[in-house]
Amino acid sequence: MVTKWKIDSSWSLFLDRDGVINERIQNGYVLDYKDFSFTTGSLAAIKKFSSVFSHIFIVTNQQCVSKKLISIDELNEIHRNMLKEIELNNGKITEIFSAIERKNKNPHRRKPNTKMGQEAKEKYPLIDFSKSIMVGDTDSDIEFGKKLGMKTVRIISEDEETLNSDLRISNLLELANLLN
């Protein structure tokens, strides 16, 4: 299926963070980098993606900031450490977009709303959502991608699935291997 998409360097990749790049803490949050654990194969996958996609974005809901469990500076520090490890493994991330609002408090940036995708397009006008892939492990990730007209890839998780994605995989490395 992925080969039918005819992916080349004009395509963009959007990745959720928790459950996709790093292990999700069920009913909790990554509040310190010592609790951040890359999912199996994600570093190798991002390295492969970096040679294929023109842009790779992380779009992540992080209401732990508005809940005052960590500060925005602490979230940014987690992201700096994550990016450093990705770069040490020859991967690149174009930019990270974080929605820090609470789920039920005017969440205009939170997925499934499309604001983070629109912000990416404003900063990087060559993004073509019809030539973009959203990878996530929840319905809100899939809905975000569908609303923007992206191809959608779901990483199978314990979450209930009410929306169909274009592709279902076990982890990012499986997707990277399908690109060859």
80-115 pLDDT tens trace: 999 999 999 999 999 999 999 887 766 689 999 999
The strand pairing partners of 59, in sequence order, are 97
From residue 174, alpha-carbon distances to 48, 62, 115, 133 in Å are 11, 26, 28, 14
Place 71 in a pLDDT band, splitting at 50, 70 and 90: very high
Percentages helix, strand, coil for the chain, rounded to the nearest 5? 35, 20, 50
Strand ranges (E), 16-172: 55-61, 95-99, 132-136, 151-155, 167-169
pTM of the full structure: 0.96
Q: What pLDDT does 20 receive? A: 97
Asked whether the predicted pLDDT for residue 180 surpasses 90, the reply is no
| Residue 10: count of CB within 10 angstroms of its CB | 14
Residue 141 CB-density burial (10 A; 0-12 exposed, 13-18 middle, 19+ buried): buried
Output the CATH code of domain 2-178: 3.40.50.1000
Average pLDDT of the residues in 154-164: 91
